[in-house]
Copies of this chain bind each other. A is one copy, B any other.
Amino acid sequence: MKLLTLVVVFSAALLSAPAPAAPAREVAAASAEAAPVLVPAEEWRRMADAAQRPPLFASELERTARSVRKAMQAGIHVPVPKDPGGGATHEQHKRNYLAIWGAGSLYRLTGDRAYADYVRDMLLAYARLYPTLGKHPASGTQIPGRLFWQVLNDSVWLVYAIQGYDAIRDTLSAQDRQTIDNDVFRRMAQFLSAGSPDNFELIHNHATWAVAGVGMTGYVLRDRDLVDKSLLGLHKDGKAGFLRQIDLLFSPDGYYEEGPYYQRYALQPFVIFAAAIERNDPQRKIFEYKDGVLLKAVDAVVQSSYAGLLFPINDALPDKGLDSEEIIAGIDITYARTHDAHLLSIAHEQNRVLLTPDGFEVAQAVAAGKAQPFAFRSVLLRDGPDGTRGGLAILREGGAADQSLVMKNTMQGMGHGHFDRLNWLFYDNGRNVIADYGSARFLNVEAKSGGIYLPENKSWAKQTVAHNTLVVDEKSQFGADWKKGENLAPTRLRFAQENGAQLTGATMVGAWPGVVFERTLALLDLGDGNLPVVIDLLHARSDAAARFDLPLHFNGQIITQGFTAHRYLAERPVMGTHDGYQHLWVDSASDVADEPRYLSWLLGNRFYTYRFGASVPTRAYLVESGANDPKFNLRHEPALIVRADGAHDVRFFGVLEPHGKYDGTAENVSGANSRIRAIEHLRGSDADVIVLHLARGGTVALAIADEAQATQTHRVAAGAEVYEWQGASARLERGTAASAKEPGAGQ
């Protein structure tokens, strides 16, 4: 074996910082048993030796050095575990794994032995503590860890720390190495695998963190048994473990069944462990596994975002974005394999990279100006291991900050799933116009139930009425039982782009006994060179006469309540008693009527007019979340609820129109009036037509056949109006003098 010599390279920034505690010196000769395996020594050396570090990598190195040096100054603190999430011991153990990880990289990239010694001393402290630990004292209903209240955090500790350890392991005396190998990493890997089978054998992101930590520990400790268990499950039969997780957790399109928020979180152990597998078991061709689904998953999570933030479906924190550490890892690892230049614009926005060869390559490519804008596009992300269990449909128009219509036709998504089949969200003008509450949680804020999911997550955020989809008899889908929800997925009906219209839709059977509902959502061009509108058609049928509610959670200040209603001005009643209705204050309740109504609001500098009607008489309510919230845990957000009582069969239809501009700086307003005069719904024998009567004259209609695969001719007539078309759907424009319109007449 070769004696490795590391050239010491200090960046200017590092030199200007306080001098490291120990002088750099030659890396000790290392036995084959101790050489780094996650990033080989020669690759570390190549990055350390680079004549010029690309700026993104250099600033990451600087940031890491600042943070690690701060930790080193604070000394080694390895406290006996005591607190739940957000508490002092919790946060200290989190800081420690980040410090171990960072110091390992810094040692390799700067050659400064002080970093390696710090990792050694820290891990020796863990070696003294860890063998003494049992079940964490603050574990509640979670599967308990030892360092942390939930085993998940222990797994995350291992994923980070093993990488730092790998980088410095060849600097240790044989005795220290043995101590740390056995009393920290082997014990922890044992605890997280055979010691916690109820976690390790799950098909769930928590288990992915566990198998990633255990598997990487296997590579570093040269322990094939750990590697095999992590890949194939405790019984090494492939019924659990990493490969099975890939099989079952990702759809063929790379959608992760818990949704984008958890996809982001799960992504990191998947891609980091995959990179370790590729390096150490290249014959597995892990990145080609299941048609390259791990790399598709990175694209899928970026597609599932708007203005840098992930779509907050299921138990998601709405402020989680593409700048999160996990997606940084995903982008870097993917780019190093695909060299897709569109990913570089995301890396550029993230302004961070991994301190690995993959991150180095991304930083070089960004510095070389190779970045291309990410290609946000209309995309259907099928759900389910074989892609047959619904999916997430994303329809886009314009650029990244223009219209995105998201329809959630996915399956339940396990315990973090919401009861929101056929829900939708809408983004426009850089903002979320039709919203999803996300989860009710203040992550790691101890005063808020210790930082975990709040009681209102279950009583409000997960309930159907907290979403933009059907509620029957004021009860949530599947009786709000996620295990029941796991059994049934929506059936996808359509995903089509045609001339001037994009459509998607699905059917859901069995969300309530005897109830079927079907929904089509579309982006429709009005032919005036201006912004498209959203069309919504929802058809519900019930064996028994029922109460059908259709909520719309809109974001903005109401401009006009375009219907008469009783206003609750000086007392504010609550809408219901259960299934989320107990959290709704009622501001306004209309009488029953047949006619379509409208509501308009202002969000940012744009107006939105929502017109809505139904095939049966309905009432309209304006409500706001926040009732029955003893600890002030909820945000107060408005919603419109349309209610049809006592029907067996109802078709709700709606049109959401973005229009106009409010310019507070220039103090002017344009386009405050809707471009639509009235809307109308026509029903034929096998199709619906939604007709928009335009203020400029004429109509634009969207025709939707019941059979989404239909190729025959359809005809819907109402008096003198006759609509005829061929195929599953069509945009039909009449008498709008479209040809006379000014080209490019925008806002």
Contacts and interface: CB of A to CB of B under 8 A. Distances in A.
Interface in A338-361: none
A636 B667 CA distance: 24
Contacts of A668: 91, 94, 444
Given A86-B669, A574-B570, A560 B447 contact: yes
A160 to B, nearest CB: 13
A325 interface: yes
A698 interface: no
A585 B446 CA distance: 28
A670 interface: yes
26 contacts: A86-B669, A91-B668, A91-B669, A317-B664, A319-B664, A321-B665, A324-B665, A443-B667, A444-B668, A445-B559, A446-B669, A446-B672, A447-B560, A557-B635, A559-B632, A561-B631, A567-B630, A569-B627, A569-B630, A570-B574, A570-B628, A571-B571, A571-B572, A572-B572, A572-B585, A624-B636
Given A582-B570, A602-B442, A630-B569, A672 B447 contact: yes
Contacts of A587: 632
A55 to B, nearest CB: 21
Given A561-B631, A569-B627, A570-B582, 15 more contacts: A86-B669, A91-B669, A320-B664, A324-B665, A325-B665, A325-B666, A442-B557, A444-B667, A444-B669, A445-B559, A445-B672, A572-B572, A572-B627, A587-B632, A622-B632
Given A632-B557, A664-B317, A91 B444 contact: no
A323 interface: yes
Contact of A665 (B323, B570, B631, B632): B323
Given A636-B624, A672-B445, A573 B574 contact: no
If over half of A's interface residues share one DSSP class (helix, strand or loop), that class is named, otherwise mixed; here it is loop
Interface of A: 86, 91, 94, 317, 319-321, 323-325, 442-448, 451, 557-561, 567, 569-574, 582, 585, 587, 600, 602, 622, 624, 627-632, 635-636, 662, 664-670, 672
B664 A86 contact: no
A558 B631 CA distance: 8
Given A574-B570, A636-B636, A559 B447 contact: yes
Contacts of A561: 631-632
Contacts of A570: 574, 582, 627-628
Contact of A571 (B317, B573, B665): B573
Contact of A669 (B445, B582, B628, B636): B445
A717 B325 CA distance: 55
A628 B667 CA distance: 28
A320 B630 CA distance: 36
Nearest to A628: B569
A672 B442 CA distance: 12
Nearest to A605: B319
Contacts of A631: 561
A442 B559 contact: yes
A670 B92 CA distance: 11
A669 B447 CA distance: 11
Contacts of A324: 665
A446 B451 CA distance: 45
Contacts of A666: 325
A95 B189 CA distance: 71
Contacts of A445: 559, 602, 662, 669, 672
Q: Residue among A630, A662, A665, A668 with the most chain B CB within 10 A?
A: A668
A664 B445 CA distance: 11
A319 B666 CA distance: 11
Contacts of A444: 662, 667-669
Contacts of A558: 632
Nearest to A664: B319
Q: Residue among A320, A443, A662, A669 with the most chain B CB within 10 A?
A: A669
A381 B128 CA distance: 63
A672 B443 CA distance: 12
B317 A559 contact: no
Contacts of A622: 632
A602 B448 CA distance: 11
Contacts of A632: 557-559, 561, 587, 622
Closest 9 CB pairs of A and B: A558-B632, A572-B572, A319-B664, A444-B669, A569-B628, A570-B574, A447-B560, A447-B559, A86-B669
Contacts of A86: 669, 672
A310 to B, nearest CB: 12
A567 B442 CA distance: 21
Contacts of A560: 447
A668 B585 CA distance: 33
A585 B573 CA distance: 12
A559 B451 contact: no
A561 B629 CA distance: 12
